[in-house]
Amino acid sequence: MGRVIAGRYLLLNRLGTGGMGHVWLAHDQHLACEVALKEIVFRNPAEAAQERAARVARARAEARHAAGLRGHPHVVTVHDVLEHEGLPWIVMEYVGGALDLRDLVTRRGTLAPAECARIGLAVLDALTAGHERGIMHRDVKPANILLAPDRSGAPHARVLLTDYGISVQPDSSETRWTLTSVLVGTAGYLAPERAQGGPPTAAADLFSLGCTLYYGVEGRGPFDRDTELAALTAVVLEEPRPPLRAGALEPLLAAMLTKNPVHRITAEDAEAALSAIVTPQSHPHTRVDLGSQPPWAQVETEASALPPPGPGFGPPPHEPQAGRVQAPQAGQVQAPQTGQVHRPQTGPAGRRHHRRSNVLQSVTAGLLGLAIALGGVWYAMGQRADGGTGSGGGAKPYGETIGLAKPLKDGDCVIADWSGERFEGTPRLKVEDCLKGQPDGQVMAVAGAGSADEARANGPARCEERTEETRKKLADVRGYVVLPTDAGFQAAGRRSACLLLGANGGVYGPLGQHRRPGLTFIDTANMQKQDCLDERSDRDARLASCDAPHDQRVLGFTRLDPDTTLEEAKQQSLEACAADVPPIQYGYDPARYETAAWASRSAWKTGTHFVVCTVKRQDGGTMESDEP
């Protein structure tokens, strides 16, 4: 920091580090603007001269290839390549507020299929532009895709392909700086033909893009393994893991990940398929007149008679909890509270809340998909050596702060009393009735260990693995591991407890596998993707078996703008779900199916503003296990 490169660029701070060196934020003192500088770093002073020359030449080639795509909207612009103290520096566009796809999924969770398709379409456009110039990227992967705000400020709306550091023009006469015994690329994202030593091709880049899109919707690569050798072996010999959350992307991913490049989908066909997912053809029957939306239905359940939970947990006990938003019958609008039917007034259809674009809403849904998978952070609860004593004289399993005298069991629901901000510090826990109370979370699994030290070392990772499937199906939860203390290890049953807690409020009922068909939802917090619902009324949704006839199926979630009021949400939820989680993405014929939406007051009290998006039949009939 503080160095001036080539008498012009003042290094401000380091933005990141890659295989070839560092990327810096710098101030261009001539033009008074910020740029990014890539510095070539040799960590070993004794590095062979041939390798040094190769890396320098590779940096120059990167600058040349990226500069050839200068002006492309989805390629990071290269302004110049210069030499300073005998080494090249690449001067590039500084992309403020950018996050690469790998970090976005790590921090925020998996993306919705439509949002991933939007990103894929942009990257494919960049790759195609390079392929037309004979430039193969050779290292398409999540870390090389930047997502940044656009001019309107929409987060992650701008998509940029970066790092042409190992790109190559196969038909050119330029010197090849790749040793024949070394594979260039990233294990798990290389095409099979490249892993076996074949030449770089456009089809190979397309395979890598397929792996990248798979990562976006699944949270891991299709060939991720414990070692690079195992990943390369899987790329060549094994089929990709069947995706669980790909939705409409699933057949396209299969076509992109075809082993034989001759049979792999072409870039032109992939572009058409991605475009169809990003902007599906909607059917007029699925459109909703927001001006004639009924007000938010409110539910009256037996929960209104329950005593309130501890301070700060969930809504007041007598407040209505959840309600469904649905399209009204033609020519009718439901009145607030009473359920009476009135003829609509003539005139404007009502104020529509401004939405920047479907792209913004898709990004927001992807970011939520961020909140859906934020359980990757596991805080160690409990203390190493200060387990107190319980009423019976034995050590408390998790220490005095947690306060429990008995160990937690799989399925236990809990109230978590934080002394300050949620997920800061250690909460005091109390076991709560899952059905009669309003719990903050539930034990989803337990993880055994040979010692308290082993529990501390391995418990978080084991809990993350065992709760991953359920975490990614819920809209707003975080993982938390309750670790035994040294003194309480035996009292805890030699096990850690794997919790899922509401990220911003309670979960108001059992989660995941602990729910049973017939469960009445008093809040949307414990609705999860692929749930099948029986709709007893506009105010009553119950969990149904998907193997039996049911009324609706949960497809996903979307989040409304932060400044949206609950009253405005009444008019927007259906449109938001239809735009961000359209049933057509999941194989539902728009001529037979339509969007429905459920929401709860708690989502507005906590500021999360998420809506549960479902699909139902237009004719009001029940759905079967084999639909769509």
Which tens digits make up the pLDDT trace of 316-332?
333 333 455 543 333 33
Closest CA to 613 of 589, 586, 591: 586
Mean pLDDT of the 545-567 span: 90
At residue 479, the 3 state secondary structure works out as: strand
Per the CB < 8 A criterion, the answer to whether 98 and 150 are in contact is no
Residues β-bridged to residue 89:
39, 82
What residue ranges define each of the domains in the chain, with the CATH number in brackets? 4-93 (3.30.200.20), 99-278 (1.10.510.10), 371-512 (no CATH)
Report yes or no on whether pTM surpasses 0.95. no
Mean pLDDT of the 90-112 span: 88
Task: For residue 35, give the H/E element and its range.
Answer: strand 33-40
Q: What is the pLDDT of residue 53?
A: 65
- Cα 478 to Cα 106, 108, 463, 503, 515: the distances in Å are 13, 11, 12, 5, 18
pLDDT at 391 over 50: no
- In sign, the C-alpha dihedral spanning 64, 69, 71, 75 is negative
Closest CA to 106 of 360, 362, 369: 369
Per the CB < 8 A criterion, the answer to whether 530 and 470 are in contact is no
Which tens digits make up the pLDDT trace of 138-150?
889 999 999 998 8
| Environment class of 280 (CB within 10 Å of its CB; exposed 0-12, middle 13-18, buried 19+) | middle
- Cα 229 to Cα 137, 223, 232, 236: the distances in Å are 22, 11, 5, 11
DSSP secondary-structure letter at 395? Answer: B
Mean pLDDT of the 565-594 span: 86
- Cα 21 to Cα 139, 289, 523: the distances in Å are 16, 55, 50
Pairing of strands 380-381, 477-482: parallel
Which tens digits make up the pLDDT trace of 468-504?
889 989 999 999 999 999 999 999 999 999 999 999 9
Task: For residue 276, give the H/E element and its range.
Answer: helix 267-278
Which tens digits make up the pLDDT trace of 173-187?
333 333 333 455 688
- Rounded Cα distance between 245 and 374, Å, is 16
Per the CB < 8 A criterion, the answer to whether 514 and 443 are in contact is no
Beta strands in 65-105, from DSSP E residues, in sequence order: 78-84, 87-93, 99-100
- In sign, the C-alpha dihedral spanning 96, 102, 106, 111 is positive
361-364 contact pairs (CB < 8 A, 24+): 361/558, 361/576, 361/579, 361/580, 362/112, 362/114, 362/115, 362/118, 362/579, 362/580, 363/115, 363/118, 363/154, 363/155, 363/156, 363/157, 364/155, 364/558, 364/559, 364/580
Mean pLDDT of the 552-563 span: 91
pLDDT > 90 fraction of the chain, expressed in percent and rounded: 43
At residue 468, the 3 state secondary structure works out as: helix
Closest CA to 457 of 479, 478, 481, 427: 481
Phi, psi of 160 (to 5 degrees): -135, 130
Q: On the CB side of 337, how many CA atoms lie within 13 Å of its CA? A: 0
Which tens digits make up the pLDDT trace of 276-304?
998 765 443 322 322 222 222 222 222 22
Choose the most confident range, by mean pLDDT, from 164-168, 418-422, 534-538, 608-612: 608-612
Q: How many CB atoms lie within 10 A of CB 82?
A: 17
More confident residue, 250 or 162: 250
Residues β-bridged to residue 26:
11, 35
| Environment class of 344 (CB within 10 Å of its CB; exposed 0-12, middle 13-18, buried 19+) | middle
Q: What is the pLDDT of residue 261?
A: 94
- Was 38 annotated as part of a binding site? yes
DSSP 327-371: PPPTT-EEPTTT--EEPPPSS---PPPP---HHHHHHHHHHHHHH
Residues β-bridged to residue 615:
553, 595
Total residues found in the chain within this entry:
628
Q: What is the pLDDT of residue 298?
A: 29
DSSP 569-600: HHHHHHHHHHHHS-GGGGT--TTTEEEEEEEE
Q: What is the pLDDT of residue 153?
A: 76
Supply the residues annotated as catalytic.
139
Residue with tokens 């996903």: 556
158 pLDDT band, cuts 50/70/90, is: very high
Q: What is the pLDDT of residue 585?
A: 77
Q: Flag the least confident range among 388-397, 415-424, 523-532.
A: 388-397
